[in-house]
Chains A and B, each alone.
Chain A
Amino acid sequence: MGEPADRNQFDQPIKGVSLWLDAWRRLRKNRMAVAGLFLFGLYVLVSLMAPVLPIQSYKHQVLEHQYLPPSFTKNAGQLLYERRERELLAEATAAGAAALGEEARQELALLRQQLADEVRTFDGVEVRINEKRYLLGTDSLGRDVLARIVYGSRVSIAIGIVGTLTAVLIGIVVGSLAGFIGGAFDYLAMRFVDVMYGLPYMMLVIIFMAIFGRNILNLFLCLALVSWLTTSRVVRGQIMSLKNAEFVQSARIVGAGTGRIIVRHLLPNILGVVAVFTTLQIPSFILLESFLSFIGLGVQAPMPSWGSLVRDGVDGMDNYPWMLFFPALTMTIFLFSMNFLGDGLRDALDPQSKNKL
């Protein structure tokens, strides 16, 4: 005979469904959210594997290869050859001739030979540069757009995730102390948060980046500076609602100190809410970083990020639209998948919120 609690009235065993299992089941039914999760995983995987993927370097410049259009079938040499051929044809037509002259044909034959033979050394390795293929075209310095997008994703996603992690760390420390201790510390911390909220925080970030210089460390620092505000409020609210619960009182009676109660008893209980809340924040960090890079205050060249790639694309979008479209598309797909994933997570963990927006 089992314990009475484990069997229902028909004497069937009851398996407890935890909040997380329940949420996971609901999430799985939401096809858009699953697609979002899958795409997010794919992006993270590709970003992590960037150095071992068979793609080109994001910073190797081949100036002769600037502004090559995307092509899946032709290599750089063929594209250059065709470009010159078109130029010569246009010249010939302008001069009134129907076909290429003898001189032009000789030039093209020579060009074909030169293109096939050209060798360049990158990092001590000899490369036949004109056999390179640029699936998504090249930029103004002859760099591979595909490689730059992959490495840009790496930078952007890393900043999104690291920014979120620092936000959670600082937010949990400040929020749980403010919520648990209360009193003057709570008052001061929350007034500080209020004031920071009053400042237009994107401007704060811009000023910070402008003053302390543009490098990736400062970018992290300044994202961390503004990012923990909301988390700390969420954590504080959660802690305050739990701090008079019986399990906390009993812990106190047994003699546990403040630190132990917070770390061992309160935090495990609120971690779920905080985790979901922070997942929803990743896109907003990525957007902030991308905008900073877009205006030139974010990551510095030759390091790419989604924002700086869009910026580069904007500059030449009339003639070289692929430089704008592929980064914009990459970013849009990512943001969409995060959006659906976030909505799905929220619905899964809080069925009440369904259809709310």
Chain B
Amino acid sequence: MTRYIIRRLLGLVPTLLIIVTVSFFVIRVAPGGPFAREKAIPKQVLENILKKYHMDEPLWKQYGRYLLNALRGDLGPSFRLKDFDVTTLILRSLPNSMVLGLLSLSLALTLGVATGIVSATRQNSGADYAFMAVAIIGVTVPLFVIGPILVFVFALRLKWFPTSGWWLSGDKWTTVIMPVVTLSLPYFAYLARLSRASILDVLRSDYVRTARAKGLGEGTIMRRHILKGALLPVVSYLGPAFAGIVTGTVVVETIFRVPGLGLFFIQSALNRDYTLIMGTVVVYSVVLLVMNFLVDIVYGIMDPRITYR
């Protein structure tokens, strides 16, 4: 197991290097630099700006400098937001995105699995149909349609929740609810369907019949026998779910104006703020790679049939 973990960790390095390299060169080669404005900047001024940001050096030198600095945690200055460096901006916005993402994931996971259990044990009941109807909506309707509709109904018309603001920036904690519910809906839906299907599968298996024949209580069978087997597909879906949540934060942050990494990412993309784009992409990639790695390890611990070498 330890050897496997170390090997996987080493495997992350080249992937990360490729991602950084690709994003660096794609962005540098692209037309329309960060200083291309409507109004032409005097030549001398432009030269000085380029010099300040080391953009007059050959490309390979800039690349080397960027890599070395990135290793030290310095992702360079932002080209558009004066007096800010990328690392500060990211550190400031990342916690907001983390809170949003983790809350949504835990909500989707707990509610999804609970719904799956109820639906599977009471198959074809009214509750089952109702849950699965919600689940189909959640799987089908995209975030940027569901989000505004929820805002319209629950914030503007019913006035249950505030329409704007963000908990960590000093507003009421209720501001968290709408973004988190919106973001978790598709993953809740998918997890509910997934766990329902896999619990139904396990319910028909021989070992569950054996457990029943032994006279075990339904609660014990559910906890010790059914869930243990049925949750494996759920765990393996956590990797893709997390990736989806990460990109989903970008969507939800733009809808609800949550001051997270996603909002910065979109803004930097619209502004062509090269260093900020690169920085956010690198951070997103690291988060995704690390999470996939963790999911693999959890999967190995949960499934006795898998041994890592």
Chain A positions near chain B (C-beta within 8 angstroms) = 195, 198-200, 202-203, 206-207, 209-213, 287, 290-291, 294-297, 307, 310, 313-314, 317-318, 321, 324, 328, 331-332, 335-336, 339, 355-357
Of the candidates B15, B148, B247, B288, which one forms a contact with A313 in the assembled complex, judged by CB atoms under 8 Å apart?
B148
Question: B269 touching A210 by the CB < 8 A rule?
Answer: yes
Q: Are A331 and B281 in contact (CB under 8 A)?
A: no
Contacts of B15 in A (CB 8 A): 195, 198
Is B139 close to A, CB under 8 A?
A: yes
Interface class of chain A by DSSP = helix
Determine the distance from Cα of A291 to Cα of B262 in the docked complex, in whole angstroms: 14
Contact yes or no, B23 A207, CB < 8 A: yes
The verdict on B183 contacting chain A, using a C-beta distance below 8 Å, is no
A336 to B266 Cα, complex, angstroms: 29
Give the residues in chain A near B145, CB-CB below 8 Å.
Answer: 310, 328, 331-332
Q: Given the complex, which residues of A lie within 8 Å of B193, measured CB to CB?
A: 357
B140 touches A336 (CB 8 A): yes
What 1/0 mask marks residues of chain B from 246 to 257 whose CB sits below 8 Å from any chain A CB?
Answer: 110011001100
Given that A195-B19, A307-B144, A355-B197 are known contacts, is A200 also in contact with B30, CB under 8 Å in the complex?
A: no
Is there an interface contact between A291 and B144, defined as CB atoms closer than 8 Å? yes
Q: How far is the CB of A214 from chain B (nearest CB, A)?
A: 10
Least CB separation from B287: chain A residue? A200
11 further contact pairs, Cβ within 8 A, besides A198-B289, A211-B272, A355-B197: A200-B243, A210-B277, A211-B31, A290-B144, A314-B148, A328-B148, A331-B145, A335-B141, A339-B136, A339-B140, A357-B194
- Could you say which interface size class chain B belongs to? 35 or more
B32 touches A211 (CB 8 A): yes
Q: Are A207 and B148 in contact (CB under 8 A)?
A: no
Contact present for A207 and B26 (CB under 8 Å): yes
A317 vs chain B, min Cβ distance (A): 5
Check B144 against A206 for contact (C-beta < 8 Å).
Answer: no
Which residues of A sit under 8 angstroms from B27, Cβ to Cβ?
Answer: 207, 211
CA distance A213 to B200 in the complex (A): 50
Task: Report Cα–Cα, A162/B118, bound state, in Å.
Answer: 42
| Complex contacts, A203 vs chain B, CB 8 Å | 247, 250, 265, 280-281, 284
Q: How far is the CA of A356 from the CA of B194 in the complex (A)?
A: 9
Chain B 265-281, CB within 8 Å of chain A: the 1/0 string? 11001101000010011
Contact residues in B for A209 (Cβ distance below 8 Å): 269
B19 touches A317 (CB 8 A): no
Let me know if A297 and B269 touch, CB within 8 A: yes
B152 within 8 Å of A (CB atoms): yes
**Closest approach, in angstroms, between the C-beta of B206 and any C-beta of chain A?**
19
Residue positions of B touching A, CB distance < 8 A: 15, 18-19, 22-23, 26-27, 30-32, 136, 139-142, 144-145, 148-149, 151-152, 156, 193-194, 197, 200, 243, 246-247, 250-251, 254-255, 265-266, 269-270, 272, 277, 280-281, 284-285, 288-289
Whole-angstrom distance between the alpha carbons of A335 and B142 in the complex? 9
Q: Smallest CB-CB separation from B156: which chain A residue?
A: A318
Q: Is A290 a contact of B152 with CB atoms below 8 Å?
A: no
Bound together, the chains give a CA A192 to CA B269 distance in angstroms of 24
Determine whether the beta carbon of A202 is less than 8 Å from that of B289.
no
Complex interface: chain A residues within 8 A of B288 (CB): 198, 200
14 A-B contact pairs sorted by A residue (CB < 8 Å): A198-B288, A199-B281, A200-B247, A200-B284, A200-B288, A206-B265, A210-B277, A212-B31, A213-B32, A291-B142, A310-B145, A332-B140, A335-B142, A336-B140
If A291-B251, A314-B148, A332-B145 touch, whether A207 touches B266 (CB-CB below 8 Å) is: no
Q: Contact check, B269 vs A324: say whether CB atoms are below 8 A apart.
A: no
B265 neighbours in A (Cβ, 8 Å):
203, 206
Which one of B139, B247, B280 has the greatest number of beta carbons of chain A within 10 Å?
B247
Tell whether, in the assembled complex, residue B156 and residue A207 are in contact, meaning their CB atoms are under 8 Å apart. no
Contact partners of A328 in chain B: CB under 8 A? 145, 148-149
Contact B144 A324 (CB under 8 A): no
In the complex, the 8 A-B pairs of residues with the closest C-beta atoms, listed nearest first:
A210-B269, A211-B30, A314-B148, A357-B197, A202-B247, A328-B145, A294-B144, A335-B140
Q: With A and B bound together, what is the CA distance between A11 and B255 in angstroms?
A: 68
Q: Which residue of A lies closest to B141 (CB)?
A: A332
Determine how close the nearest CB of chain A comes to the CB of B190; give it in whole angstroms.
9
Q: A294-B144, A357-B197 are in contact. Are A210 and B26 (CB under 8 A)?
A: no
Query: In whole Å, how far is B100's beta carbon from the nearest beta carbon of chain A?
Result: 16
Question: Within the assembled complex, what's the spacing in Å between the Cα atoms of A328 and B147?
Answer: 11
Contacts of B136 in A (CB 8 A): 336, 339
**Which residues of B have CB within 8 Å of A296?**
270
Nearest-Cβ distance from residue B268 to partner chain A, whole angstroms: 8
Given contacts A199-B19, A313-B148, A332-B141, contact A211 B26 (CB under 8 A): yes
Instruction: Please report the C-alpha to C-alpha distance between residue A335 and residue B146 in the assembled complex, in whole angstroms.
Output: 13
* Contacting pair A200 B246 (CB below 8 A): yes
Closest to A337 in B: B140
Q: Which residues of B contact A356 (CB under 8 A)?
A: 197
B156 near A295 (CB under 8 angstroms)?
no
CB-CB under 8 A from B285, the residues of chain A are 198-200
In whole angstroms, how far apart are the Cα atoms of A276 and B11 in the complex? 35
Among candidates A202, A317, A355, residue contacting B152 with C-beta atoms closer than 8 Å: A317
Residue of B nearest to A319 (CB): B156
Bound form: Cα–Cα A328–B152 in Å: 12
Chain A residues, Cβ within 8 Å of B148: 310, 313-314, 317, 324, 328
Question: Which of A195, A295, A317, A335 is in CB contact (< 8 Å) with B254?
Answer: A295
Residues of B within 8 A of A332 (CB): 140-141, 145
Closest Cβ of chain B to A101, distance in Å, is 36
A113 vs chain B, min Cβ distance (A): 38
Q: Are A210 and B144 in contact (CB-based, < 8 A)? A: no
Task: From the candidates B23, B156, B246, name the one contacting A317 in the complex (CB within 8 A).
Answer: B156
Q: What's the Cα separation between A328 and B149 when bound, in Å? A: 9
Q: With A and B bound together, what is the CA distance between A47 and B250 in angstroms?
A: 31
